Every structure is written in structure tokens, then in C-alpha cells.
Amino acid sequence: MGTVIERRDLSAVIKQALQGVFVLAPNVTVPVNASVVNVGLLLGERMFRLKTEGSPNSITRELDDILGEEHRDILLKNTDILFSPEYGLDVIKLLLQLGRNQRFYLPWPGELVGERLTYSEPSRFDFKEYNVKDYVDTYVVLR
């Protein structure tokens, strides 16, 4: 079950968590030395190449290749591509599946209200809503 934590508790939780997804509220910085991955740029290039080549590889395999297992802590930037309705992804679930003994830090590109995370607006085609309690090893870090 996911947990909502305060920014002041983030360092202590990181020390205890061997893996997981840390969903960050605006202006919350990662207190560890994390590798930065520009997901939008790298994944967008790969998906464009695959479409032009007609390759059947999936976005999940491509993201797995990008994130690899080299680094324990990875800060994900420019992640809007993951929320594209074209791919139909549960972003948090996907990151948990790919995060074998890794910690991903995801600055949330939407709204954080307690245990509820939203992406986009309810009237838009790309709207998604998540309840952090539906995910294990997931931490929503509030300001």
C-alpha cells in the first residue's frame, strides 16, 4: 500500500526503502545523488525510430532499456510521454515493475491531493487518476 509522507521525512524513508517510486510534489528536491533521465527525449526518439522501422517493440521494453539497472536512484524528467493515451499505461505500476532494486523519483506532472494523483483535467482525453493506496512501494512526497 502506498504512503503519503512529508518532505522532512523523505531522507529517512529513502534510507529504509530499497526500491520504489517516489512521487514528488512541486519544489520537492531529491536529497540523494540521483542520475537524471530525460524520459520524453530518449523514449520519444526510440518510439519514433520504431514506428518508422515498423518494429514491434513496446514502450515498456524501450523504457526498461533506457532505465536499465546501472543506477540505484533515478530522477525522471519530462515524463508526459508516459501519460499518452496512445500507450494506455498505468505509469506508477509500470515504474514499479521496471524498478528492480531501484528508486525512481517522479516529479508529478499533475495535481497531488493527499492520496489522489491526477494527470490533466477531467474534461480532457488524456485525464488519468491514481490512488496511491493502490500501489506498493510508492511514496507521495508532499511539501
Average pLDDT over residues 4-18: 93
pLDDT tens across 92-101, in order?
Answer: 999 999 988 8
The number of distinct structural domains making up the chain is: 1
Return the pLDDT at 97.
93
Which domain does 107 fall in, by range?
3-142
Return the pLDDT at 55.
67
**How confident is residue 68, by pLDDT bands cut at 50, 70 and 90?**
confident
CA-wise closest residue to 143 among 117, 112, 119: 112
| CA angle (62 as vertex; 54, 90 as ends), nearest 5 | 110
Higher pLDDT residue, 55 or 88? 88
Please answer whether residues 67 and 74 qualify as being in contact, where contact means their C-beta atoms are separated by less than 8 angstroms: yes
Global pTM reads 0.92
pLDDT tens across 108-141, in order?
Answer: 999 998 889 999 999 999 999 999 999 999 999 9
pLDDT tens across 15-56, in order?
Answer: 999 999 999 999 999 988 999 999 999 999 998 888 777 666
DSSP conformation class of 25 = P
**How confident is residue 143, by pLDDT bands cut at 50, 70 and 90?**
confident
Q: What per-residue string of b and e applies to 59-93 under the rule 16 or more CB within 10 Å gives b?
A: beebbeebbeeeeeebbbebbebbbeeebebebbe
